[in-house]
Amino acid sequence: MRFDTYITWDRVEVTPIAFDSLGTRSMSTLIMAKSIKILIDPSAALGPRRYGLPPHPLEYEKLREHKEKISEAARESDIIIITHYHYDHIPRPSEDISWLAGKKLLIKDPHHNINYSQRMRARIFLENLKKVNADVEVVDGRELVFGKCRVKFSEPVQHGNDSRLGYVLQVSVYEAGETIIHTSDVEGIVVEEQARFIISNMPEVVICDGPMTYMLGDKYSDEDLKKSLKNLKRIIKKTSIETLILDHHLTRDRQWRTKLKNFLEELRDLVEIHTAASYIGIPEQPLESIRDILWKTHKIEEKE
């Protein structure tokens, strides 16, 4: 599969590689500008337990498929961006990363604005990158220019609603009058700094994580959801956004459309709202959200 088949060269092209609506925990995205090909967050993972169940064999099959697509996209990319150090965004230490050999990686600072677990994961990841002679550069809060393409990075922003989960970088890619923003794990934009970066860069396309409705009443409060929807509305009304891709933590909830019904109806005439799957025109496969159904069906098939 050659990803340049998606290019029209008239505008920046966005290709979701692996996302929750496509079957694995990920926000891996290929952005192809005229000047440069950028892969953001080259990894995917599976939730270890959901509904008290381990991943279904179909989830493992999809994970293998996504890992292959990610490595192929990485080989064809000019730069690779690491927004933070969770394993659905970076490869695990046990994985072969020869496909990153000699690559240019723009990374979140592994030493500052980072929690303990991510710092340890970053240290191991960087050691493995040295073994394949990858070229690594810290980019927190910076702006870099590649030809006519400008890539801007936010200062570290909170990973969702809890600073104990660490911090992530948001990414803005601008070329030929069009801006694409990848939010990384903001869990629906519950913090003002997350919203401010998006609004200040006036995007046409926003690839956004969350809201994290599947954790409502547990790790995500009703107040968090209200803040998220309020901020999303602000972004839509204050920017030139044409397309909003909502995914990742959101599509782990098979009832998310019901929970966001009023929000979706209110804004449907202002912006196109997609999951990663619907954006590229394929059926949604949010496998983790239906894991209980998959295991039940699997057991029935075994008995038959």
Handedness of CA 259, 261, 263, 264 (dihedral sign): positive
Q: Which of 25-29, 162-166, 225-229, 256-260 has the lowest mean pLDDT?
A: 162-166
- 137 burial via Cβ count (<10 Å: 0-12, 13-18, 19+): exposed
Tokens linked to 105: 């990686």
CATH level 3 topology of 3-303:
Metallo-beta-lactamase; Chain A (3.60.15)
Whether residue 211 is preceded by a cis peptide bond, meaning omega within 30 degrees of 0, is: yes
Distance CA 229, CA 190 (A): 8
Average pLDDT over residues 23-52: 97
Strand 135-138 and strand 104-107: pairing?
parallel
**What CA–CA distance (Å, rounded) separates 202 from 162?**
26
Q: Are 80 and 39 in contact (CB under 8 A)?
A: yes
Q: How confident is the model at residue 144 (pLDDT cuts 50, 70, 90)?
A: very high
Any residues with CB less than 8 A from the CB of 280 and at least 6 apart, and which?
Answer: 15, 16
Which pLDDT value is given to residue 297? 86
Decide if pLDDT at 9 tops 60. Answer: no
Query: CA of 36: how far to CAs of 13, 57, 76, 77, in Å?
Result: 11, 37, 10, 8
Residue 44 has pLDDT above 70, yes or no: yes
- Does the pLDDT of residue 1 top 90, yes or no? no
pLDDT above 50 for 66: yes
Name the DSSP letter for residue 25.
B
Residues 6 or more apart whose Cβ sits within 8 Å of residue 163:
none
More confident residue, 179 or 8: 179
pTM: 0.94
Per-domain residue ranges of the chain: 3-303
| SS3 state of residue 270 | coil
